[in-house]
Amino acid sequence: MKIETEKGHEIVSRILLTKISEGEWKPGDKLPSVVELSSSFGVGRSTVREALSALKAMGWLDIRHGGGTFVKKELPSERKDGADPFKDAASMMELLEVRKVLETGTASLAARNRKDEDLDALQAILRTMREALERDDTAAGEQADVAFHAAIAAASHNSLLSGLMDSLAERLGRTIGQTRELWFYQETSTAVRLLEEHEGIYEAIAAGNAEEASRLIGTHLTKVENVLRERL
């Protein structure tokens, strides 16, 4: 089978999903390698990685660093009937809209109110993100990403804002993981740019530049939103 289309990753995703839904690959089974799938479908390895990362983001696959890709032992219950795995897009978009409203203000306050210990915490998280990138450890990168945004809320020293961010923590973590998988897994250079964006936000907060911190985090979230619209 040869796939020649700008949306090859979406077609490959749906083919893989069909194989899982129809039982060709059962829960716990290891999938063929990226090289084998690339040859089988007649597409580039990046297209296959993009398709795999999309299905991982939707809860179908477990991608183990250095160990291969496996069908999840516990499949998403609401999708065992073959429902469209991309149906969560609207919910993810709504959360991003909320995040833009909330986090632009939070970053501005953090730039005004941050203390030395807040900057230390943000720096430590950035180091973790950098180390995760060097190891190609997507799970650690996702956790650090969530922690970074939570630390900005803490640095605002506004208990109501921090509480609002805490109330969104579970959904925030899930959405960050999904968008990172959809966007960054197959392209290391994009992950590098993501780290640089977080570093820029930190620098604005450290410099006490409230307007710049708000602008940078708004730009960052708009990019994520645009990628999500395109991919989902």
Q: What mean pLDDT do residues 205-227 have?
A: 92
Q: How far apart are CA 94 and CA 89, in angstroms?
A: 9
Rg value, the chain, Cα = 19
Nearest 10 degrees: CA dihedral of 166, 170, 173, 175?
-120
Per-residue pLDDT reduced to its tens digit, 117-176: 999 999 999 999 999 888 877 778 888 998 999 999 999 999 998 888 888 877 777 777
What pLDDT, on a 0 to 100 scale, did the predictor assign at position 78? 45
Give me the amino acid identity at 181. Answer: E
Q: How far apart are CA 38 and CA 95, in angstroms?
A: 34
Whether 85 has a pLDDT exceeding 50, the answer reads: no
Report residue 191's pLDDT band, with 50, 70 and 90 as the boundaries: confident
Q: How far apart are CA 90 and CA 88, in angstroms?
A: 6
End-to-end CA distance of the chain: 24
Q: What mean pLDDT do residues 195-201 have?
A: 95
What pLDDT, on a 0 to 100 scale, did the predictor assign at position 117? 97
The answer to whether the predicted template modeling score (pTM) of the entire model surpasses 0.85 is no
| Cα separations in angstroms, 98 against 80, 101, 142, 157 | 30, 5, 19, 20
